[in-house]
Amino acid sequence: MSKLVFGGDAVIETSDIDPSVRPIVEMTDTLLSKKRSSQGEIIVTLFEHCNLSCKFCNQDHDSEVGMDNIRGKAQDVIKAIQLLKKMRKETFSIHFMGGEVFQDRFTEAQYVEYLLLVLDVRDFCEMMGYPVEFVFVSNLVHFNTQAVKSLIDTLNASGAKTTLGTSYDPSMRFSAKDLIIFAKNLEIYRDYISVVNIVLTAPNIRKFLTGNIPHFDFIYEHFDVFFDYYTPEANHEQMSPKDHELRDMFVFLTDNYPKAHPITGWMTSETNAMSCQSTYTIQPDGRAGRCTILLNNFQKEVAPKTAGEMEHEFITKMDCLSCEYFSRCGLGCFLQQHFNGPNRTMNDCWMKDVHKKISEVNSVR
């Protein structure tokens, strides 16, 4: 057992850590303690069955595992909240996703399960006095909008703060028909959507840098936008961006879309939490931990055994602790950097150039 993980009183089994590096991993954890977010984010994959087949997704979209135990996931979420509370998390954001949670084939009974799931977690948080909010994540490729709005309205009326989240990816997500449905639903759900995520795959980055991003200006104007790091899956050799592509993308965002996250945080504050390692994930079969890809055992033969080892390897390789931008920087996705060896096209950390650009922009504002 390690003494501490993420600080506080939480004790998590870390027996898989190589004993020779365990003290160094724990020291890294201590040094990064001030970079940990105070919000506990819990990603709950209820099931993986989906109506789309995005090429960059790591899920099995034909799987129905978990679909018969929607409300039962409440106990898994409550256990996760209790664990994160020991890690000194103060507020909680619970994201329920698939697959696709709002498929047109679903009956009213499915929505009742969603309702009861959220209310069970809300009741626990109210009893304990924990601030909590809920997000249902959807690809928005569906027609049953009234049922979705009714669910969200009912939950908010009950005191369970609930919104929708979605993703916009200009490459390898939507067919031409699906994109029309998605765009229409952006309008329909304008008052319900709290965040739109974009995955930083290499094809998506190239679409942005060449201006081939239909509907994005509308999205940027009306919603909070967050650019997420791509996490490796079976197609990672094609999807994983090179260092200079990530650098060019974030410089492009700084110049053109500075209100997008995480750019806006970097531009407005010199102290920011890490963008990774503050999330707890729950899988359809009940497995849970700090990194979805490690839970899926993706390429386990070349992946680090634990999230802590992965974090230590990243911080050491990038010499983060001595960087002048350490306090401001979100540090990126540790797992992506672990797999990104063939895509390292720069000798130095690509994020330094981004932060230099931000400093230049800020100096003339």
pTM for the whole thing? 0.85
Angle at 182 between CA 178 and CA 186, to 5 degrees: 170
**Which residues does 128 contact at the CB level (< 8 Å), separation at least 6?**
none
**Which residues does 304 contact at the CB level (< 8 Å), separation at least 6?**
294, 310, 313, 338
> Looking at the domain assignment, is residue 292 inside a domain?
yes
> Looking at the domain assignment, is residue 30 inside a domain?
no
φ, ψ (nearest 5 deg) of residue 279: -115, 140
Structural domain that includes position 349: 39-363
> Looking at the domain assignment, is residue 28 inside a domain?
no
CA atoms within 13 A on the CB side of 149: 13
> Looking at the domain assignment, is residue 32 inside a domain?
no
- The tens place of each residue's pLDDT in the chain, 365 residues long, gives 233 233 333 333 344 555 655 665 566 666 666 667 778 899 999 999 998 877 777 778 789 999 999 999 999 999 999 988 987 888 999 999 999 999 999 999 999 999 999 999 999 999 999 999 999 999 999 999 999 999 999 999 999 999 999 999 999 889 999 999 999 999 999 999 999 999 999 999 999 999 999 999 999 999 999 998 887 767 777 888 888 999 999 999 999 999 999 999 999 999 888 766 567 889 999 888 766 555 555 444 445 556 667 777 777 777 888 899 988 988 776 555 544 555 566 677 888 999 999 999 998 87
In the beta sheet, which residues pair with residue 165?
A: 137, 195
Largest alpha-carbon pair distance within the chain?
57
> Looking at the domain assignment, is residue 162 inside a domain?
yes
> Looking at the domain assignment, is residue 11 inside a domain?
no
> Looking at the domain assignment, is residue 4 inside a domain?
no
Give the Cα separation of 330 and 14 in Å (integer): 25
Q: What is the SS3 assignment for 35? A: helix
> Looking at the domain assignment, is residue 65 inside a domain?
yes
Edge to edge, what strands does the sheet with 288-289 contain?
225-229, 193-200, 162-167, 132-137, 91-97, 39-45, 279-282, 288-289
Structural domains counted in the chain: 1
Instruction: With beta carbons less than 8 A apart as the criterion, state whether 362 and 343 touch.
Output: no
167-176 residues labelled b (16+ CB within 10 A) or e (exposed): bbbbbbbbee
CATH of the domain at 277: 3.20.20.70
